[in-house]
A and B are shown apart, each in its own frame.
Chain A
């Protein structure tokens, strides 16, 4: 990125003052190094977001930002409905409520490594992964409507996990205001066989060892112990979310024109929150959030079954479940005024600190919410804690992952899937995937350095490092 366009505020904060149609500044959080490597498109897109009606404070980009559609991935923007604020399908992303959850196993890494191959094979048998995979569930449209209305609560009622899990999921496992009637039958049809499936691309289930603790006190609260094993699941609302986004993107393109909203690029398609399209999208998007929460809940249950086969009596306890492609209604202070805003986070994780205690499980109120950051298969993932500073700086938001450094085609040219699998195995990471080519496209080298991204987020005050986890087994979709 050409840094000359940016005004440096601190080591990790860069501003572009509003020009032209921009209503607010664009703000990027990153170290100079990350910024240099970042797409110019990120800045262009953040400036585009800054032109949208009703935007508050600034259009933000996180340290892992990269070129998205309309909004950059790693983009955060909040809108006030009373100031003509908009909601944007491109501001949420195709994979609505894509997110990460981490489960504690209480098992020691050395015990898991002793039975690593068996566990990898068993997980691969239990977890439906890859293109065209289906779960054991085939839901009628009516049953699916119940999933969309009730999220992980539905899953728990069906025997997937326990009520205690719900407290460890954002929105208590079920977001209010979901309206299955705003979801087309086509979107529902796409989901009927996909509940409890991982999907493909960058989605995964990983067994990880906690290899470093940065903050002992918070780690204790989260139940993280050095040398123990956790399970992390990264996936979203599957075909349902993709179809909803496809349909509303089209509708919002027309709506933006109808409402006289200038779009610097078509993918910024949006509609006033108070418009009919805006309200219907909200109902549908929340239904997709519930779908994703239920999906991850089912997958956790399946992972638990696999663990119990190899380590009888083991119970997987949910640490937390975060979504990083969402738009949520939250109260924030803008210019000294408390406002009810629609906060878009596209490839960004909510980072509530202790001051948001009313929105956090009681046990996390003193330390903030877990912020779960996925890395690539060969590197590591991070568990961070939300901060109050994030609230001041970026509507309580932090990073979501490493972000790609190379395109899929570039990755395919550099690596062969089998070679990646063998090389990772030699480093102690067992990969199980239905697609060798898929593994090559997701090769660790195709991703940015997640540690640099996480360090920048901590330096910027967006979250605090708690623990680092290294993969032992990766089930790749």
Chain B
């Protein structure tokens, strides 16, 4: 019935892995399938690291993050009652900053204290020729939303974003 949800779960399973049970996760990001839109997933040794990676996955929907120079920093703060809603707020804050500042980001630093997130995003103004931005993200959605520690030191933060 729910093929894509199962795909998403399978991807989480793969991300969690079984071959390196005691090793903290290497920070990385990936996209997962959604027909009309796209799923963003961050993986890292801490929830904060997974949020940073999810942010990179978000930018990668639009452009190759490696093309974006981290020359200008902006600060972001959010607060939400659950880690899932905090992820949504964090990604939506980035979407808002990218849209209003006409910027793209490539480096993120996140600190999470309970319900509160303090983040720094570094990037530069959009340069159409160099960045070739493909599609703007409209918003982070609750579809396939999950923030969890798959095993000790292996955090996953993900959701589908509307493009």
Contacts and interface: CB of A to CB of B under 8 A. Distances in A.
A39 interface: yes
The interface size bin for chain B is 35 or more
Interface residues of A, number: 49
Contact of A267 (B5, B36, B128, B143): B143
Contacts of B10: none
A200 B136 contact: yes
B141 interface: yes
Contacts of B36: 66-68, 73, 403-404, 407
Contacts of A67: 4, 34-36
Interface in A188-206: 189-190, 193, 199-201
B85 A200 contact: no
B135 A201 contact: yes
Of A69, A243, A434, chain B has the most CB atoms within 10 Å of the CB of A69
Interface string B83-119: 0010010001001100110100000000000000000
Contacts of A425: none
A39 B92 CA distance: 27
Given A40-B1, A69-B162, A438 B142 contact: no
Of A265, A266, A404, chain B has the most CB atoms within 10 Å of the CB of A266
Contacts, number: 123
Interface string B111-144: 0000000000000001010001111101111110
A253 B36 CA distance: 23
Interface string A11-41: 0000000000000000000000000000111
B35 A407 contact: yes
Interface string A403-437: 11111111000000000000000000000001111
A200 B99 contact: no
Contacts of B138: 94-95, 242, 245
Nearest to A441: B134
A130 to B, nearest CB: 7
Contacts of B145: 266
Contact of B33 (A40, A200, A407, A438): A407
A245 B140 CA distance: 10
A189 B93 CA distance: 13
Interface in B29-83: 31, 33-38, 62
A73 B142 CA distance: 16
Given A407-B38, A410-B33, A437 B96 contact: no
B115 to A, nearest CB: 14
B163 interface: yes
Contacts of A405: 35
A134 B102 contact: yes
Given A40-B3, A69-B141, A189-B100, A409 B135 contact: no
B1 A44 contact: yes
A246 B143 CA distance: 13
A269 B134 CA distance: 30
B126 A438 contact: no
Given A68-B36, A69-B143, A436-B132, A201 B163 contact: yes
Nearest to A263: B142
A394 to B, nearest CB: 21
Nearest to A189: B100
Contacts of A436: 132
A395 to B, nearest CB: 23
Given A44-B2, A437-B134, A66 B96 contact: no
23 contacts: A67-B34, A68-B36, A94-B141, A94-B162, A130-B128, A132-B136, A200-B135, A200-B136, A201-B163, A239-B100, A242-B138, A242-B139, A243-B139, A245-B139, A249-B141, A249-B142, A250-B85, A266-B142, A267-B141, A403-B36, A405-B35, A435-B134, A438-B135
Give the 3 A-B CB pairs with smallest separation, nearest first: A131-B133, A132-B126, A242-B138
Interface of A: 2, 39-41, 44, 66-69, 73, 94-95, 130-132, 134, 186, 189-190, 193, 199-201, 239, 242-243, 245-246, 249-250, 253, 265-267, 269, 403-410, 434-438, 441
Given A131-B133, A186-B96, 9 more contacts: A2-B1, A94-B138, A132-B126, A134-B102, A201-B136, A239-B99, A405-B35, A435-B128, A441-B135
